[in-house]
Amino acid sequence: MKIKTCFIILAFFLAANSALLSQEAGDKLFQVRGFCISSPKTSQVDRFVKFINEELATRKVNTLVLLVGYNYQYASYPQLRDSGAMSKKDVKKIVAACKKNNIRIIPDINLLGHQSSGNKLNKLLENFPEFDETPHIKMPEQYVWPNKDNLYCKSYCPLHPEVHKVIFSVIDELCDVFEADAFHSGMDEIFYLGDDKCLRCKGIDKAKLFADEVNLVRNHLKEKNRELWLWADRFLDGRATGLGFWEASYNYTWRAIDMVYKDIVMCDWHYERPDQTAIYFAMNGFRVITCPWRTPETAVIQTEDMARWVKYATPEMKPRYYGMMQTCWTSTEGFIDGFYGTVSDRNKRAVHPKNPAWTPWDTFRAMYTKMDELEAAK
C-alpha cells in the first residue's frame, strides 16, 4: 500500500514536472534562435544596430551572444578598457534595438582561457600579471602555431585569491549595462590549466579545477538571478571520441560534466561534422545549443538533427534540445561586409580554405532558411 501511494505521488510529480517543462519548451522546434558575434567597436555601433533591425529581427533571432570581453568602458576597472571600447551610450543603443525586436542579449567575457591572442596579452593579464597561470611562459615576438610552449592562449589562475574580485566586478557591470539575465563565460579551448609550475594549481585534478571555476561563476550569477552559458568543448573527451583537442578536451577536464550545476547552458560547437554530442549533453541533464560556423551543408544537417531530436524526445528530454546558434568568429564589421557581398582583409580569414562559398554569412543564411522550413513543416 505504501509503495502504491509512492507510485501515485511519483506519477503525479512526473506529470506535473513534465507539464511545466513542456510549457517552457512551447510549441517551437527551436527555442533558441541564436546568433553569436563580436561586439562592435564604438565606431561600428550604428551599423550593427541597423544589422540587428534588418537581418536579425527579420529572421526572428531571439538570442544574441555578444562577445564583449574588454570592449566596454568599464567604470569599476577603467584600466581594463580596450582602445575604442563601447561607451554606456553605445551599449544602450544595442539594448534598445534588441528590446524592440525581442532579442535576449547574453554578453560574453572569456573566463579562464583566451587571456591572450597571438602575441598579445589581453587587458586582464596586461593589468594584473599576477593572475597569469603560466608566468614562466613569455609572450613571443612572432606568434606561430604550433609552438614549443603549446601556447595557444594564456589563462588566468582560477585559484589566485584576487582574481574573482576583478572578474565579478566586470561581469556584474557588463550584465547590468546590457540588462542581461544571462552571461556567457566562454571557457573554450583552455589548454593552460592546473599548470605544474603554478604553486596554487599544480597537482589538482583538472576536471575539478575547471568545474570549481564554472560553479563559482554560476553561483555568483545565480545570486542575481542570472544564468550561465558557456562553450562546451572542455566537457568532451577529445581522444576517446576522436573530436580532437579544439572542440573537445585533451587535458582531463571532461569529467567535469558530472561536477557542475545542471542549469548551465551548453553551447556545443562543431563545424566540420554534424557531431551528435548534443545528445550526450542533453542526456547528462543540460540544455544544449548546437553552434555551427562556416560550413552551410553541415549546419543544415545539424539543424535537421536538432529538429529530429526535439520531435522524438521524451517530455523530460525535449526542453534540453534548446536550439541553434550561428557563430561568426570575425569582427562585427567583417561579418556585415561579408553578408552584403564584400570580402576584404578584415573578413577573408573567415572563408573556409576548402570552398569560397563556405562562409559564416552563407551558413547563417542557409541555417535560418532551413530552420524556417522545418518550423513551417512541423
Partner 1 sequence: MWQSDAIAQYDDNAVFPVKGFCINAPSPQGLDRFVKFIGDELAPRGINTLFLLGDYNYKFESYPQLADSNALSKKDVKKIVAACKKYNIRIIPQINLIGHQSWAGNLGNLLKNFPEFDETPHVKMPENYVWPNEDGLYCKSYCPLHPDVHKVLFAVIDEICDVYEADAFHGGMDEIFYLGDDKCPRCKGIDKAELFANEVRVIHDHLKDKNRELWIWGDRLLDGRSTGIGFWEASYNYTWRAIDMIPKDVVICDWHYERPDQTPVYFAMKGFRVVTCPWRTPPRAVIQAEDMARWRKYATPEMKPKYYGMVLTTWMDNGGFMDGFYGNLSDRAKGAVHPKNAEYTPWDTFKAMYKRMGELEQEK
Minimum CB separation from partner 1 for residue 255, in Å? 9
CA atoms within 13 A on the CB side of 33: 24
Measuring CA to CA, which residue among 65, 117, 111, 104 is closest to residue 267?
65
169 vs 276 by CB, closer to partner 1: 276
Measuring CA to CA, which residue among 45, 132, 141, 140 is closest to residue 97?
45
Three cell numbers written together for 29: 522546434
21 vs 121 by CB, closer to partner 1: 21
12 vs 340 by CB, closer to partner 1: 12
Instruction: For residues 228 and 112, give the distance between their C-alpha atoms in angstroms, rounded to a whole number.
Output: 14
Binding site for partner 1 (CB under 8 A): 1-4, 7, 14, 18, 236-237, 239-243, 273-277, 279-280, 283, 285, 301, 309, 312-317
237 vs 375 by CB, closer to partner 1: 237
4 vs 136 by CB, closer to partner 1: 4
| Residue 8 burial (C-beta neighbours within 10 Å; 0-12, 13-18, 19+) | exposed
Minimum CB separation from partner 1 for residue 236, in Å? 8
241 vs 251 by CB, closer to partner 1: 241
Minimum CB separation from partner 1 for residue 293, in Å? 16
Minimum CB separation from partner 1 for residue 253, in Å? 15
135 vs 285 by CB, closer to partner 1: 285
- If you write DSSP's letter for every residue of 22-48 in order, what string do you get? HHHHTT-S-SEEEEEEEPPPGGGHHHH
Measuring CA to CA, which residue among 262, 61, 80 is closest to residue 171?
80
Parallel/antiparallel/unpaired status of strands 116-117 and 120-121: antiparallel
Query: What sections of the chain are H helices per DSSP?
Result: 2-25, 45-51, 88-100, 123-127, 163-177, 206-222, 238-241, 277-283, 296-312, 332-339, 360-377
